[in-house]
Structure 1
Amino acid sequence: MLSRLVLCLLILAYTPILHAHKASDSYLTLKTAGERIDGRWDIALRDLDYAIGLDSDDNGEITWGEMRSRRNAVFDYARSHLSITGGNVPCPVQPGDYLIDTHTDGAYSVLTFTAACGAELSNITVNYSLLFDLDPQHRGLLRVEYGQATHTTVLSPTHDSQQIELSDVKPGAAFLQYLKEGVWHIWFGYDHILFLLSLLFPSVLIRLNRSWLPAEGFHPVLIEVIKIVTAFTVAHSLTLSLATLGVIELPSRWVESAIAASVVLAALNNVYPLISKKLWLVAFGFGLIHGLGFANVLKDLGLPKDMLILALLAFNLGVEAGQLAIVSVFLPAAFFLRRSWGYRRLLVDAGSVLIAMVALVWLAERSLNTQLVDWELLFK
């Protein structure tokens, strides 16, 4: 059991380190009317440069001239990773305008296109594979608009196809949709998971005479974990709501860098403890920052104006459900193993150092808005 737990931690840390730069997103919006689809696809310039090369003179800056010269290559690359069908009928994508826009995390190429399906649309199926072969953390944020209704979802390597019924979205369906997106976000949010694990590692231990000793009873451990999880929940729910409603707004680059820094500090605190009691205060303080990260994802997904509060509540509950699932798996195993040398040395000490190293790479790459190491090439 110990070896399996260690292996899970190493896999969890190893997966994001292959692409430790800020996880990329693209924004795909489809507006349907009759048999026609009008599309807009925003793809980060840094991702396109990584995939097909845009900076022809390798000076670290992508000019409009370089972008324009690669227009056909960009459209061909994007179109080869997207297919749309209406019913069972293919909807061929025809390129339109080629523009540049700025998001909170940098410059994006904007590809507009049209697709004619040849018949009145009642449903569409979107198959998406952009960058999945290069960056397993990449996500496509899909927004489909039809009449007064809006459907949103996240496309990923494990969820690369989505069928959408073009009908009014009922409150119950919208609630389940945003609940699911909240669960998926926490499960694929490696930085949030590693931060939570860093706080949970010492929850089954007691700090005494500069050493970690096993806690005696499960009840005090459970109370401590409840405090940590509750504090983290309250904090990120607060900033998630305020940021989503537009009360707080900070650049994505600042938020993502601060989240990486929180993981570094939480992990190093296990190795060189400055705070060994009342870790719920740490969870609350850093939870405020993580809530802003959750809000960026939720805003990118898009919120239905007529069901704003419902969608916000569902996404928040989804995040909590995903978080509780992680805790419910980790805590019993950690309590069972707390007396072993392996738990304290391999997981708490070595595991925390490994987490801090991964998060330091995230911090450097997110704050500098660059990729320091070509992990794809290194591990081939």
Structure 2
Amino acid sequence: MLSKSMTRAPNVMTSRATLLFLVVLVMLSSVSGEAFAHAVADGDKGYIQEITGVNLIAFLYLGAKHMVTGYDHILFLLGVIFFLYKMKDIGVYVSLFAIGHSVTMLAGVYFNFGINSYIIDAIIGLSIVYKALDNMGAYQRWFRFQPNTKAATLIFGFFHGFGLSSKILDYEISSDGLLPNLLAFNVGVEVGQLLALGAILIVMGFWRRTPSFLKHAYSTNAVMMGAGFMLIGYQLTGYFV
């Protein structure tokens, strides 16, 4: 028969794992607005402005870096897959998100169509709030209605794509080799998304095996919702001020 100290040990470990997960979310939510909006690094911007022609490797790297360091994209992805257990379902939702942001990113840059970066980043923050509330079952409790989660993922993917295109337009990149470079950037974004998704799934896989997952799922999404509201507030303040 196990002693009380031995049976308490796994509970302590799972509680610590849950606490660590929440701390990571709090850290993401407390990142400065500039980092939270995945702004263009000065070094990257200067490099892109100087080069001309087809530079596939450079844009591939920048796309991957842009997604991996884009905390808003990562938080939205976390919300999307939070209660998805089957890889088939995860693949469907991630593909919808990828299609959405790829279409508007490529179209926005190629046709030089941009949306005010403060407004689009505020909408991206709203997408995080929306998904956190969805995971918390708020819409069913408040309105007795469940929005179409697949359609919402695609639609918010469009807005995330405009967020990406607005950052690329900040590069003021050369029109020489624009289309190949954009395609390389988009491939890099998808690579970065897969890397971020892989890390999230590994952590979530361990956490879901513990009793603390369902116990702390609500509070975790509440923290994620708070991060979304912080991004909205920061961006709207920047727009009006």
TM-score range, shorter chain: 0.7 to 0.9
SS in 2 for 1:176: helix
Gaps of 5+ in 2: 1-12, 140-144
**Change in 2 beyond 3 A, CA 1:261/1:353:** same
**What's the offset of the Cα at 1:333?**
3.9
Greater relative contact order (Cα < 8 A, sep 6+) = 2
Of Structure 1 and Structure 2, which has the larger fraction of its residues in helix?
2
Amino acid at match of 2:160: H
- The aligned residue for residue 186 of structure 1 is 67
**What's the offset of the Cα at 1:13?**
3.3
The count of aligned residue pairs is 223
Percent identical residues: 24
SS in 1 for 2:42: strand
Gaps of 5+ in 1: 26-135, 145-150, 154-165, 205-220, 373-380
- The aligned residue for residue 6 of structure 2 is none
State the Cα deviation string for residues 72-93 of structure 1 (Å, max 9, x = none): xxxxxxxxxxxxxxxxxxxxxx
Amino acid at match of 1:294: L
Amino acid at match of 2:101: H
**What's the offset of the Cα at 1:16?**
4.3
Matched, 1:13 2:19: no
Equivalent residue in structure 1 for 2:170, among 296, 300, 312: 300
Distance 1:225 1:292 in 2: 23
Equivalent residue in structure 2 for 1:351, among 220, 223, 226: 220
Distance 1:317 1:6 in 2: 35
**Change in 2 beyond 3 A, CA 1:280/1:24:** closer
Of Structure 1 and Structure 2, which has the larger fraction of its residues in strand?
1
- The aligned residue for residue 257 of structure 1 is 122
Q: Which shows bigger deviation, 222-231 or 270-279?
A: 270-279
**What's the offset of the Cα at 1:4?**
4.3
Distance 1:187 1:12 in 2: 15
**Change in 2 beyond 3 A, CA 1:242/1:6:** farther
Contact 1:22 1:362 in 2 (8 A): no
State the Cα deviation string for residues 18-40 of structure 1 (Å, max 9, x = none): 42x35499xxxxxxxxxxxxxxx
State the Cα deviation string for residues 212-268 of structure 1 (Å, max 9, x = none): xxxxxxxxx100000011000000000001111236432222111111111111111
Distance 1:323 1:336 in 2: 20
Distance 2:108 2:53 in 1: 25
SS in 1 for 2:176: helix
**Change in 2 beyond 3 A, CA 1:197/1:303:** same
Amino acid at match of 2:231: W
Q: TM-score, normalised by structure 2?
A: 0.80
SS in 2 for 1:226: helix
**What's the offset of the Cα at 1:338?**
2.4
Q: Who wins on radius of gyration, i.e. which is larger?
A: 1
